[in-house]
Amino acid sequence: MSKDIQVLFLQDKKGHFKIGQVKRVKMGYARNYLFPKGFATLVTPATLLKQKAVKKESEKRQVALKEQADNLKEVLSSKVVSFHVKANEEEKLYGSITQQDISNAISDQYGVVVDKADIKLPVQIKELGEFSYQVDIHPKVQIEGIISVVLEEVKKEEEKSKRPGKRRQISKSVTE
């Protein structure tokens, strides 16, 4: 049977654990993942004293995250992230637009870095149109934006002239 141990988390990992949290986990998970990566430490009487310092550090980090979220909200408010894509006649995309694509587009268009894990999409984007998205950096700051997916203008004649055509030379030898 696997043994559970108590650990004190030293870092945040969204959706899994928060800094300063004490939790029971499997020994193998702690020994093979949490301890080597510096995410947690074993709970002892000495580390319980350290928990208060870790909580203070967590509060400072939350204040910094809130400031970052407020700044990001100012930059992204009332701005549209646009994508120029190829689509078929039924306005369906060849592929889809992912959180990573949105993160890259925000960085390119507005010069702000947003982690792809912080971007939430209500639906998967697989067609042309306008869609909403949400950025969750801090629980007290709601950042919402609009994604515009439009058809890429490609002129067929220009595309053909840029591509070099393959020409075959056929040589006939006539023997009489």
CATH of the domain at 139: 3.10.430.100
Residue 176 lies in a domain: no
CA dihedral sign, ordered 30, 33, 36, 39: negative
Q: Please tell me whether residues 26 and 93 are part of one structural domain.
A: no
State the pLDDT at residue 112. Answer: 87
- Domain-ending residue, one of 69, 100, 115: 69
Give me the phi and psi of 13, to 5 degrees please. -145, 110
Residue 129 inside a domain? The answer is yes
Residue 160 located in a structural domain: no
Residue 168, domain member (yes or no): no
Predicted confidence (pLDDT) per residue in 54-101, tens digit: 778 878 888 888 888 888 888 888 789 999 999 898 889 988 999 999
Query: DSSP readout, 120-144?
Result: E-SS-EEESEEEEEEE-SSTT--EE
Q: Comparing C-alpha atoms, which of 147, 80, 69 is closest to residue 114? A: 69
User: Within this chain, do residues 150 and 114 fall inside the same structural domain, yes or no?
Assistant: yes
* 125 within domain boundaries: yes
Residue appearing with tokens 């919402």:
144
pLDDT of residue 154: 62
> Does one domain contain both 40 and 89?
no
Does residue 171 lie within any of the structural domains?
no
* Total domains in the fold of the chain: 2
CATH number at residue 49: 3.40.5.10
Q: In this predicted structure, which of 48-52, 91-95, 113-117, 170-174 has the lowest mean pLDDT? A: 170-174
pLDDT at residue 164, as a whole number? 56
- Structural domain boundaries, residue 84: 77-154
Give CA–CA dist 16/130, Å, rounded: 32
The answer on 48 and 97 residing in a single domain is: no
